[in-house]
Chain A
């Protein structure tokens, strides 16, 4: 679908540079979504949303001027462009003729979720609810949500670029509360991809079994230990650890301000040679995948760590220009209301050759962090923290008692250097990453990974 005509885009760009400036860009977007939840076995909160709008930016030297408007009416776009140009006092700058857009390399969508009757979505939620509630007498509460979104974007810039993308994402989430003898635990699981409704073919309700299993297991859990120990991090969402402790520090905006512990470390050994890691926006159907980023740069597979050496930062156009390199296709934005900033897409540690069971068997006393509720990092200092949603003690090379309330805390460079085993198993998981008030869908992944010496913050002091 075409959001705005090429002629209109050209006129807007010309107007934006009518008083000078180095670069102008028009980003147009249409997004439609539907979400629904089940709670107390009742289908509720059905919600449709639709938005259209545009963001226009003019870069003049080091200053970015940005305006955004709701709607795609030509008059509104021109007015916004003139407002930006009005702040500059120079002569018109050149706008190159828009080149024909290459057809975007879209993810194949078999069944547009918007074309599926809402009743079917409600039925899937009912099935999740039933499965969760039948997992055991301990299950006291279950709730689940369904969300679909379609985001069509078109980018035009004064260098003649014209590009578009059309992204469809579907996601299920389920939360289970289990109770027994006054103890309360929760379990959460998700399923999401850059894919059509066919994602939910098969047995999507299996995630309800998994969430219920986590909550029930934790009912017998002891308080997590506190102190420094060897930690084995689970596959899949365990990759959020790498996302936080390394990925954010590689985003070029933080690097260029010296607000990253990875600044000035390009080419340095930052990990054991067994570690290879990528940011890859081209992975088929993954949550952070797209044909282009939100500046029109085709998605890339970027090797960020090769054999333990730092090999690339993650760039958008603006920061790439400053470092005199090409954008790595990481210029992403929450919506037309936001400026693009360097963001991860799908970030993962490449599978290694260690047997996941052996990784655990070699640990005499440690902690097994199967999955996280989320995490946070301060790139400038490298300090990070993660909430463990499912964790166990490792004793004598065996996974033993479940633990609740654990947090992992540490420093990026130290923890990264202490990864001494990477499993041959692999899984990608979905997440939402927040930065500078913007949210982006990102994929995280890895096999089992072992870190020698990281602080577990629990209540058993």
Chain B
């Protein structure tokens, strides 16, 4: 058993000694490295290590949580006391119980790439500098890059419970992103580029830089569109944010509490048949993929939208028990600092038939939205209504035309899902809205608010 597995096991025992009827422990450890580059120079370099543990304790059907960074026996005992003390405060909840073992962990090929640990820091500094260079070299109007951020992490997680749940896995991730600035006269526009992989070798620095440079320079001269309702093509990045919106709304916790536009709609027609979305916690390319979820339940694949219907909700053990079903392996943990809660893993938008150019052609006259802002304030997850800031390009005669900024797109989630007319044929991983394998969407009509 790994060192963290030992910690988890000891902490579960400590919780029992402290009076818990059941306990589940998540222990985590890892190292990370971050490089920030600006103007061809390293701005900051961070090396970090950390580890911690979270204990979920039950007293009958009351549950409490405590987390901390002191993994000594005394530290674990104190934490166990705190978790049990917390459980005493909670009201009884008949759906709350420690999860039982739910099957063998899923094997995720390539989940942990030794490339993170074996790549020297000088190499990843070079990678970050090359990202910046690629953006600057793309267009002479790209005058600066605010900063290139490169991060990689190696982490190990272990779970143990008094019900016999146990497991451990390691994962790696490497990502880079930047914001490029393009200037013309006194006007400044920005563009974002990013890449995610399991190791630095999986990142293409030129592609990341070029994406940001292209977006920034293409936005120069942007104006505000007229207010109207029109066909809208959502870029894969923006489509990912919408998918994230869907993923939140099909998470059973809010559904069961009547706080989702999808509540009581299982099996009903809620979207256009063109839009097919699944949750898949086992796809090797997905950052949220893992052998098991935050409760030790194997990750799985759950079709969510298909043939226009709502096919399933996402469950953890609590919502599953409440619904009289089984967990879909969607108990998420942001880290040991939070108790598990139901959330999407990787959302997969099924690519359609049309190329990007064909999507534009089909849109005819409308707006191509490349970026949305204000998602955390502009989206109401209870009602499904949204109104967010946006920028992008006009679509005229089936082709991209002048850049547009400072406008809003607004509507309600179900209406927008029903209006999806086509899905683009090229999909890629986008780390916005969670982890989404995303493709551009053509929506027949969305309200655009501008001048």
Contact = CB atoms under 8 A, between A and B. Distances in A.
Interface of A: 34, 36, 39-40, 42-53, 62-71, 83-84, 87, 118-119, 121-122, 140-141, 143, 177, 184-186, 224, 226-228, 254, 257-259, 261, 337, 339, 372-376, 378, 380-381, 383-387, 389, 404-407, 409-411, 455-459, 461
B449 A409 contact: yes
5 contacts: A46-B87, A66-B44, A376-B374, A383-B406, A409-B408
B368 interface: no
Contacts of B158: none
A49 B373 contact: no
Given A45-B65, A226-B449, A227-B451, A385 B47 contact: no
B46 A339 contact: yes
Contact of B449 (A52, A141, A380, A456): A456
Contacts of B49: 69-70
Contact of A457 (B41, B87, B449): B449
B380 interface: yes
Given A67-B48, A68-B48, A457-B449, A47 B65 contact: yes
Interface residues of B, number: 78
B384 to A, nearest CB: 9
B431 interface: no
B385 interface: yes
Q: Interface centre among A44, A83, A143, by most B CB within 10 Å? A: A44
Interface string B382-419: 11011111010000000000000111111100000000
Given A69-B49, A455-B406, A43 B259 contact: no
B257 interface: yes
A66 B389 contact: no
B405 A383 contact: yes
A389 B385 CA distance: 12
A461 B85 CA distance: 54
A407 B378 contact: yes
A66 B46 contact: yes
Given A68-B48, A70-B50, A409-B407, 5 more contacts: A43-B90, A140-B258, A257-B38, A407-B449, A459-B411
Contact of A42 (B43, B91, B409): B91
B89 A122 contact: yes
Nearest to B374: A385
Contacts of B11: none
Contact of B190 (A185, A378, A386, A387): A378
Nearest to A263: B188
Interface of A is mostly: strand
Given A337-B50, A458-B387, A459-B447, A52 B69 contact: yes
B91 A43 contact: yes
Interface of B is mostly: strand
Contacts of A257: 38, 144, 146-147
B375 to A, nearest CB: 8
B368 to A, nearest CB: 17
B123 interface: no
B228 interface: yes
A46 B87 CA distance: 7
A46 B91 CA distance: 10
Candidate in B45, B52, B405 with the most chain A CB atoms within 10 angstroms: B45
B2 to A, nearest CB: 18
A39 B380 CA distance: 18
Report, nearest first, the 4 A-B pairs whose CB atoms are least far apart. A457-B408, A385-B389, A374-B377, A387-B377
A259 B189 CA distance: 10
Interface centre among B38, B189, B227, B409 (most CB of A within 10 A): B227
Contacts of A118: 85-86, 88-89
B388 A407 contact: yes
Given A46-B64, A461-B449, A177 B52 contact: no
Given A122-B89, A385-B389, A67 B46 contact: yes
B181 A409 contact: no
